[in-house]
Amino acid sequence: MMNDMTKIKHHLTEPLLMGYAAGTLPEAFNLVVATHISMCDDCRAALAGYEAVGGEVMMDTAPVDVAEDALAATLALIESGKFADKPARVRTKNSVFPGPLQDYVDGDIDSLKWRKVGGGVSQLVLKTSKDASVRLLRIPAGTAVPDHGHRGTELTLVLQGAFTDSEDRFGAGDVEVANEDLHHTPVAEEGLDCICLAATDAPLRFNGLVPRIAQRFIGI
Amino acid sequence: MLTETSTLRKADALPVPSTYDGVKALPKRDARTSKVNTELTTKRMAWVVQVYAVRDNQDRAAFAELFGYFAPRVKSFLMKSGASPDLAEECTQEVMATLWNKAHMFDPTKASVSTWIFTIARNRKIDILRKQRRPEPEDLPWGPEAEPDQADAIGLQQETEQLGQALATLPDEQRKLIERAYFGELTHSQIAAETGLPLGTIKSRIRLALDRLRHVMK
């Protein structure tokens, strides 16, 4: 748990929190939401509210009869031990990668197999369901990510360092939610390399010719 | 079956935490009984007691009570989320088995039993219907309270009851949009295509509904 994360300024949006609570988001977005919430008590509390709404929606539905032997079958299932609690995977404290992300990456910043994507920027694509994609980005301090627009929604969560774009400054714990209207050129601040977790439900669209060609090969 | 009186008696008999002497006194919520249906809050506290009975005594009668009320609602939620009746039946039994196995994780100062069971059902939906991995936030470092503060627990049950009542009194069009968003049967764009309403209108109606719920909760 990071205790110096009290200054988070950019939070998750209502549709994201509601979608996570309802279980309707792509896995890649769920990963960004769960990672941000691990760093942000405000959004954790807000999520609890959306989950409470979900509970009341469920309570409000017309009940559907269960099988006659459902209770007996459930007790048998419990006795079988098939649904016994599995021990959770051990997570490292004070990593740059909060718990949910540790389940997706094997190692720490310097031991990961980063792939260069040009301009000094490296990425590591994480394996998730195909309805959206998510990657770690490593942007060297002082470097700009090529100007790009978006077809769908792009979530960028800062894990270390900070970047600034036309919208604002985004530091550790901040999440930028960008849609089709935003063309931006994020620039990493001096100091630590900027490490971000970025998810999108459509391919990014780079404006310069070279990045766009590169895009076909590296699959940004 | 528990009778109404025995339910009440059980709720009254909620064990007073041994740390209830103020050693780690948490801030108490104001009693807001004026706005809340106390009978329904009592029902919610009775569920809490039943979960405790499952946790502490593997109490099958208490489990049967919870099962009788919640299993048909879990099944309904799963079917509305796109599960066939057979799959929904199977998942419902798994959800209720998970309730038994995770009863020690339940904290009535953080969630009502209805909220907690919903999250278990939601998780099962992602596992089985959507077949995705399910990233979960880190637990808070202080973990669940060993002995949750009873006043906090009652306060949270009251708030959730208020929320449920507020949801039921939303204008129809707003409530239906909220429901559909939670069932995930349609994306916002699909709802827009089906109802002929622009996407912006759908989103602002959902926002309006949520604002209304928040207002009632204040």
Residue B73 lies in a domain: yes
Residue B129, domain CATH: 1.10.1740.10
Look up the domain containing B101 and give its range: 1-10+33-133+149-169
pLDDT band at A91 (very low <50, low <70, confident <90, very high): confident
Sign of torsion, CA A119 A124 A130 A133? negative
A216's enclosing H/E stretch is helix A209-218
What is the number of domains present in chain A? 1
Of the listed ranges B42-51, B52-61, B84-93, B169-178, the one predicted with least confidence: B169-178
Report the pLDDT value the prediction gives residue B203, as an integer from 0 to 100: 74
**Within this chain, do residues B59 and B126 fall inside the same structural domain, yes or no?**
yes
Cβ atoms within 10 Å, residue A87:
5
Tokens of A152: 């769908």
Distance of CA B6 to the CA centre of its chain: 23
Contact (CB, 8 A) for A138 and A193: yes
**Within this chain, do residues B91 and B72 fall inside the same structural domain, yes or no?**
yes
Predicted confidence (pLDDT) per residue in A124-177, tens digit? 999 998 888 999 999 999 999 876 666 788 899 999 999 999 889 999 999 999
Report the pLDDT value the prediction gives residue B130, as an integer from 0 to 100: 83
Q: What is the dihedral of CA B1, B113, B101, B74, to 10 degrees?
A: 80
Predicted confidence (pLDDT) per residue in B142-152, tens digit? 555 567 788 88
Residue A87, domain CATH: 2.60.120.10
Residue A8 confidence (pLDDT) above 70:
yes
* Long-range contacts from A108-112, C-beta under 8 angstroms, 24+ separation: A109/A138, A109/A160, A109/A193, A109/A195, A112/A136
pLDDT cut 70: percent of chain B above it: 74
Task: Give the pLDDT mean for B100-114.
Answer: 93
Residue A29 confidence (pLDDT) above 90:
yes
Residue A146 lies in a domain: yes
Report the pLDDT value the prediction gives residue A220, as an integer from 0 to 100: 45
**Within this chain, do residues B188 and B121 fall inside the same structural domain, yes or no?**
no
How far is it, in rounded angstroms, from Cα A55 to Cα B106? 15
ipTM above 0.90, yes or no: no
**Within this chain, do residues B124 and B180 fall inside the same structural domain, yes or no?**
no
Residue of B nearest to A129 (CA): B132
Mutate to test the interface with B, among A37, A60, A64 (most CBs of B within 10 A): A64
pLDDT, chain B, mean: 78
Phi, psi angles (nearest 5°) of residue A210: -65, -50
Residues facing residue A125 across a β-bridge? A135
Residue B59 lies in a domain: yes
Residue B98 lies in a domain: yes
Contact (CB, 8 A) for A10 and A157: no
Tokens of A125: 């694509």
Phi, psi angles (nearest 5°) of residue A175: -125, 130
How far is it, in rounded angstroms, from Cα B43 to Cα B66? 11
Look up the domain containing A80 and give its range: 7-220
Per the CB < 8 Å rule, is A66 touching B92?
yes
Task: Give the pLDDT mean for A93-111.
Answer: 89
Residue B40 lies in a domain: yes
Cβ atoms within 10 Å, residue A206:
19
**Within this chain, do residues B2 and B94 fall inside the same structural domain, yes or no?**
yes
| Pairwise pLDDT comparison (A32 vs A210), residue with the higher score | A32
Contact (CB, 8 A) for B164 and B153: no
Instruction: Report CA Rg, chain A.
Output: 20
How far is it, in rounded angstroms, from Cα B54 to Cα B61? 9
Strand order of the sheet with strand A187-188?
Answer: A169-170, A163-164, A187-188
Residue B21 confidence (pLDDT) above 90:
no
How far is it, in rounded angstroms, from Cα A66 to Cα A57? 19
Q: Which of A31, A55, A70 sits opposite B114 (nearest CB)?
A: A55
Please, which residues have CB within 8 angstroms of residue A110's CB and are 6 or more apart in sequence?
none
Residue A1 lies in a domain: no
Residue B184 lies in a domain: yes
What is the number of domains present in chain B? 2
Residue B22 lies in a domain: no
How far is it, in rounded angstroms, from Cα A137 to Cα A186? 12
From B120's Cα to the closest Cα of chain A, the distance in A is 10
From B23's Cα to the closest Cα of chain A, the distance in A is 25
Q: What is the dihedral of CA B75, B81, B87, B90, to 10 degrees?
A: -40
Residue A2 lies in a domain: no
Residue B157 confidence (pLDDT) above 80:
yes
Residue B18 lies in a domain: no
Residue B48 confidence (pLDDT) above 80:
yes
How far is it, in rounded angstroms, from Cα A63 to Cα B77? 9
Task: Give the pLDDT mean for A88-94.
Answer: 74
Report the pLDDT value the prediction gives residue A173, as an integer from 0 to 100: 96
Residue of B nearest to A81 (CA): B101
